[in-house]
Structure 1
Amino acid sequence: MDKDLASVRLIFVLPCLLVVLNWLWPLPLSPVTKILATGFLFIGSQYHYWARLSSGSPLLPEFPRPLIILFNWAFSAIAFLALFQLALDLGVLLVAVVQWRWVSIPVIARVIIGACSTLLAAIGVANAIKLPTIREVTVTISNLSASFDGYRVLQLTDLHLTRLFPEAWARSVVTRANAADADLIVVTGDFIDGSVDMRRRDIAPLKELHAPDGIFAVPGNHEYYFDYESWIEHLESLGITMLLNTHNVLTRGSDHLVVAGVTDLSAARHGQVGPDLGAALAGIPASAPVILLDHQPRNARTAAERSVALQLSGHTHGGMILGLDRLVARGNEGFVSGRYDLGNMTLYVSNGTGLWPGFALRLGKPSEITRFHLRAG
């Protein structure tokens, strides 16, 4: 076992120990029940270790879908319960210090936080795996020509096609996307988790995506984890045009709209070409508005300085949970979910169409398929 995995296992064991020692064992249960519950909690806390045993990667649980759902529920419930128990312990400690006497936690308080944790986890996982609805967003672009006024762009992102989001789910997403009647469909990365051979069936429905002006996409960081070059080749075989630091010009008579894309910020760490906005925009028609596809939103201010009109990103999953989204924003230059106006540029960060199966939980940050209506202004 490598040191990184050992560290991860230790990190996830600590909340489990807090739950076992401070929540479970003080409950008036039989020793046998407590031992069995301890075993269940330990198994749930080591979800990513079991994932590694199943696939070779802690990022990729290759279990049957119901088992992945169960693990996500158990893992999330443990995390919530550890937080609630810690808050309860600190509250009791504060009362004890103020009153200078021993204060015990009533059984009913433990029961309540246990019930709340399991319920929140169940709701969060159910939200994570359901089919996303279409979110409508209108964007006004000052230099958009009249011939592109009302143009519709549909964004998919962070599909994370896996055993949790398998072929049937992908087919439902494609059906919904095609029914949205967009002029253009874009995918802003993180199509999959797993190799081409592992995900061939799951991603096959994307071949049925259709829009009058085509399907364009950029890679996300997860494509680099699983044989990037093979994935780029396979995605293009599905009829998806990958914009790897390049662009495509859409025309309506003498009017133009540019769709550009850059590779992911993580590319260089995997020996691949990193994002190059200059190359992506080289040779575009003068005064043509630019839609930029960039999986991560961190470089949005640079794009705004280069007169990009609209940047579409994903990566953050919207922060997944209200409150947690503030922490996720800190790692993404403040961009985590929804619309941001940066000078004359609009940045939109999608909450994601799917979700990484290693922590499939959504509370207050629903998944989405996003349809943009471009308006001249």
Structure 2
Amino acid sequence: MWGKGAIAFLLLAASQYHFWSKLSSGSVFAPEFPRSVVILFNWAFGFIVLLAVVQIVLDLGTLAAMLARQRALSLPDSVRYGSAGVAALLAAIAVANAVRVPPVTDIEVTIAGLPPEFEGYRLLQLTDLHISRLFPATWARAVVDRANAAGADAIVVTGDFIDGSVEMRRADVEPLRGLRAPDGVYAIPGNHEYFFEYAAWMRHIAGLGIKMLPNAHALLTRGEPRIVLAGVTDLSAPGHGQAGPDLAAALAGAPEDAPVILLDHQPRRARQAAARGVALQLSGHTHGGMILGLDRLVARGNAGFVSGRYEVDGMTLYVSNGTGLWPGFALRLGRPSELTRITLRSDRPTSPR
């Protein structure tokens, strides 16, 4: 009984992870514990969630067997304990997957009307870094090194840089100053920037040498030929007294004959972007759904878009699984993190030699 009581107490404490996080920093989004403690909390919380799912599956299976055999059945204790071991192992794997420095994932995207000078042009997308106690300066520095080694012409960051205030995260975001690409580094805010001193973060990120595109655009040039790189603010912005996403404002003054690449943190408005003639939209926000099965629920809240490539009314949408993850639920099973290298291809047929 004492052993069961101790285990029950520990499970109850772990189940209140987000409450302890709020006590630690004033925000449920920024657990201010040592990294090892944040990792342990995520493992324990993940264990509870996965154990609940496994137990429900076992109970449903037992119920189905009882109905089929028309008699009472019970599972041996060894099966229950075994399921707990499986849940503990899966939670450990899920946390390890979440906190790694992600590899580079390569995709190719065909752009209608792409100028020949941009054939093979490479963009590197980072998104959902969630720099925090879980993803500190050492992790950010490793991500920057891998991003710079990817050989991209331009780097884009599609929001959710941080979890925490500027004062809390100043040292942890400093490695982002080292991001380098020949045509520059561009970014937009995600919803988490609005949770923590939005204006201060926009100034600080810009001070790191990253060009912010909140309802604005920049031109990528190869002599006279150009690509429009546009960005919009996040859908959550109006709820925090800030300007919401405005694609018309972002494209104001942009050359009409140039292909448009749009950075939009959330993928929900992809059809509106396609209707405005956007050729490629890059998004994040969903974290790929984090866990197979759970991704179907996440998709329902994001207009059906959750992970990977989609063709949307003539536009390509790519939803990255994310580079990091919110430290409040840092689990990945079957939805790996990524740095995405996008190579642009023309829709013109290749001339025979």
Greater shift in the superposed pair: 160-169 or 43-52: 43-52
Cα RMSD (Å): 1.0
Aligned residue number for residue 310 of structure 2: 340
Aligned residue number for residue 302 of structure 1: 272
Residues 132-176 of structure 1 deviation map (CA, whole Å, 9 limit, x = unaligned): 000001111111101111111000000000000000000000000
Secondary structure, aligned partner of 2:268: coil
CA distance in 1, matches of 2:314, 2:75: 56
CA distance in 2, matches of 1:283, 1:86: 56
Aligned residue number for residue 214 of structure 1: 184
Aligned residue number for residue 230 of structure 2: 260
Q: Which amino acid aligns with 2:264?
A: D
CA distance in 1, matches of 2:173, 2:133: 11
CA distance in 2, matches of 1:168, 1:293: 27
Aligned residue number for residue 319 of structure 2: 349
Q: Spell out the pairing of 1:81-96 with structure 2 (5 A cutoff).
A: 81-96=51-66
1:72 aligns with 2:27: no
Residues 204-242 of structure 1 deviation map (CA, whole Å, 9 limit, x = unaligned): 000010111111000000000001000000000101111
Structure 1 residue 99: deviation in Å? 4.2
1:245 aligns with 2:215: yes
CA distance in 2, matches of 1:148, 1:90: 56
1:204 aligns with 2:204: no
CA distance in 2, matches of 1:307, 1:101: 63
Structure 1 residue 97: deviation in Å? 4.4
Secondary structure, aligned partner of 1:233: helix
Q: Which amino acid aligns with 2:256?
A: A
Secondary structure, aligned partner of 2:267: coil
Secondary structure, aligned partner of 1:373: strand
CA distance in 1, matches of 2:72, 2:182: 71
CA distance in 2, matches of 1:176, 1:290: 27
CA distance in 2, matches of 1:291, 1:95: 54
1:106 to 32, 53, 76: 76
Q: Which amino acid aligns with 2:249?
A: A
Aligned residue number for residue 293 of structure 1: 263
Secondary structure, aligned partner of 2:244: coil
1:163 to 117, 133, 136: 133
State TM-score, norm by structure 2.
Answer: 0.96
1:374 aligns with 2:344: yes
Aligned residue number for residue 62 of structure 1: 32
CA distance in 2, matches of 1:195, 1:68: 18
2:161 to 184, 188, 191: 191
Residues 325-360 of structure 1 deviation map (CA, whole Å, 9 limit, x = unaligned): 111111100100000112331100000000000000
Greater shift in the superposed pair: 338-347 or 122-131: 338-347
Structure 1 residue 90: deviation in Å? 2.9
Aligned residue number for residue 138 of structure 1: 108
CA distance in 2, matches of 1:90, 1:364: 24
Matched residues, number: 347
Question: What percent of counterpart residues are identical?
Answer: 63
Secondary structure, aligned partner of 1:90: helix
State TM-score, norm by structure 1.
Answer: 0.90
Aligned residue number for residue 300 of structure 2: 330
Secondary structure, aligned partner of 2:97: helix
CA distance in 2, matches of 1:173, 1:90: 43
Secondary structure, aligned partner of 1:346: strand
Structure 1 residue 102: deviation in Å? 3.3
Structure 1 residue 98: deviation in Å? 4.6
CA distance in 1, matches of 2:48, 2:242: 38
1:36 aligns with 2:15: no
1:116 aligns with 2:77: no
Secondary structure, aligned partner of 1:247: strand
Secondary structure, aligned partner of 1:357: coil
Residues 65-116 of structure 1 deviation map (CA, whole Å, 9 limit, x = unaligned): 0111111011011111111112222333344445454322211110221111
Secondary structure, aligned partner of 1:86: helix
Q: Which amino acid aligns with 1:256?
A: R
Aligned residue number for residue 314 of structure 1: 284
1:51 aligns with 2:59: no
Secondary structure, aligned partner of 1:112: helix
Aligned residue number for residue 5 of structure 1: none
Q: Which amino acid aligns with 2:19?
A: Y
Structure 1 residue 254: deviation in Å? 1.3
CA distance in 2, matches of 1:62, 1:38: 25
CA distance in 1, matches of 2:43, 2:300: 26
